Structure 1
Amino acid sequence: MNHFETSLDLRKGADPELVERIEAALDTITKRTAGGSWGPYPRTSDEILGRAEPPRPIRDDKSGLWGYVGAVPPRYAQAQPFADGLAWVRRPESQTWELIDLSGATVIDASSGYLAAERFAEGLAWVSRDEAGGWYAIDRQNRLIIPGGFDDAKAFHHGLALVQRGGWGVIDRHGRVVVQPRYRAFVTPLVSGGPIEGFTDEGLAVVDAGDRFGVVDRGGQVIVPAEHAAVVIHPVAFLVGDQFGLWGALDRKGKPLVELKYKEQAEVVEQIERRLTDGRPVL
């Protein structure tokens, strides 16, 4: 008797026909998920919430100016895509950027003197009056939210932003340092694809310490010390590689899970699945 049958038979009055139907359904799910093809297609937050796509920037061939399809006529020398319902644009007669809403109305005018501006995300945008850096964050009312003059900065995601001051680190929406800026990069390879810049949705990031890689979480805790030649995030583990091209795996606490001896990542993934699954779902 397998685990599935045992778990069901423990329930008094189990219907044998129901048991058989559930078992067949779970077997089907097991086969489908093994290839990673089960489930709905990936959708953006706009699709899920039923929001219409914002108008796209478009260049008028005759004037050479930029506008937005069906929303704002071509009158800008440069135009960024809309994000959070706002877009940065620059007029031909100005060297600085202004912010407009979906109707084309000015939200922040060019007199603010921003020589560089990045898209809004989670209500904040990075701007600079210095061509060589000096990034700080403002809100849509043009209020200074995060000072600091960083060398570079990336858009906020899940309340965190990558910032550079010498090395790369992480701050939260209040400007508090979550990860000290001491890494060369936050670029996170995934078994399922990637790499992505910064943290995964579950709050893990692969950090580049120069010649070695490790993993930190969104709270700044080091999960895997930066002592590996390569690290790839698996849904339930971390694949790690050495300087000789061999691969193994650590569990989510950073403890050894699969011996570092395999030539291919796929072999390690297979070993992880053998260790962490029973080969059949248990109800």
Structure 2
Amino acid sequence: MNHFETALDLRKGADPELVERIEAALDTITRKTTADGGWGPYPRTSDEILGRTEPPRPLRDQRSGLWGYVGAVPPRYAQAQPFADGLAWVRRPESPAWELIDLAGETVIDASSGYLAAERFAEGLAWVSRDEAGGWYAIDQHNRLIVPGGFDDAKAFHRGLALVKRGGWGVIDRHGRMIVPPRFRGFVTPLVSGGPIEGFTDEGLAVVDAGDDHVGVVDRAGQLVVAPEHAAVVIHPVAFLVADRFGLWGALDRQGGPLVELKYKEQADVLEELDRLVIDGRPVL
């Protein structure tokens, strides 16, 4: 049944205005075919679905040497960062401090705040510092202090959490609560499907470096899932690939228990064994 037959079938006893709206919608969908000629809505990016447009890009004027934003803000800045969350940090030639502007070029936070360093906004928060050597804390778009602390370094918030450094690296939430104490050398998470990524995976797992070639896994709640006693850990969709100091690979289940013996020289051999476990129906979760 094509969409015209569908509309005729719906017309019987239906509200005429509703039928007209359905027909118009079906016509639109039919015209928007997929790239391979199939029937259905045309493919769109997440930004298109949510109605988001690409923000203006920073561009340096060759004559003046100053920075502006293409089609939005004329070149008048000594430095300009890309827009994030509809805001961008810029610095004028006559000032050592950064100021915050919106997409129209209007000043949101002026240079009198004295921020000598500033990072992009993410999830409504940005890390700023009045000390180029550190002293990072988080503010909101109204220049209100949200996360104090004066950290040595900090990364942008992602899903309510941010990596922070005070001696070692840890994790803090947007309310200033320390989720993972700053005792690790780093949070760099290798994935079987790609990576590594900095911080947590989408399911809330991160590989932590405890030093002395010992790595483990923590979750978003700050719980240690895999003790930092392995030479390497790689996140697998249903397991953890682990290696010892001799370069032999095996796997742990998602509770950190043994799953595949540490005896393989290649990760690929462990992946094959995990595939067999899944096909055979043996528990791997």
TM-score, normalization: structure 1? Answer: 0.82
Q: 1:166 to 1:194 in 2, by over 3 A?
A: same
Q: 1:233 to 1:146 in 2, by over 3 A?
A: same
CA shift at 1:276, angstroms? 1.6
Equivalent residues in 2 for 1:1-283, closer than 5 Å: 45-211=46-212, 212-278=214-280
What is aligned with 1:19?
A: none
Structure with the bigger RCO (C-alpha within 8 Å, sep 6+) is: 1
Distance 1:43 1:137 in 2: 34
Q: 1:263 to 1:49 in 2, by over 3 A?
A: same
Q: 1:226 to 1:45 in 2, by over 3 A?
A: farther
Letter in 1 for 2:222: G
Distance 2:44 2:192 in 1: 20
Q: Which runs of 5+ in 2 are unaligned?
A: 1-42
Q: What is the CA deviation profile of residues 192-238 of structure 1, one whole-angstrom value per residue up to 9, with x for unaligned ones?
A: 11100000011000000012000000000000000000000001110
Distance 1:144 1:106 in 2: 18
Letter in 1 for 2:243: G
Distance 1:239 1:275 in 2: 14
Distance 2:279 2:101 in 1: 52
Letter in 1 for 2:270: V
The runs of at least 4 aligned residues of structure 1 exceeding 2 Å deviation read 42-48
1:123 is paired with a residue whose SS is coil
Distance 2:200 2:49 in 1: 22
Distance 1:273 1:61 in 2: 56
TM-score, normalization: structure 2? Answer: 0.81
CA shift at 1:104, angstroms? 0.4
C-alpha RMSD of matched pairs (Å): 1.4
Distance 2:179 2:49 in 1: 31
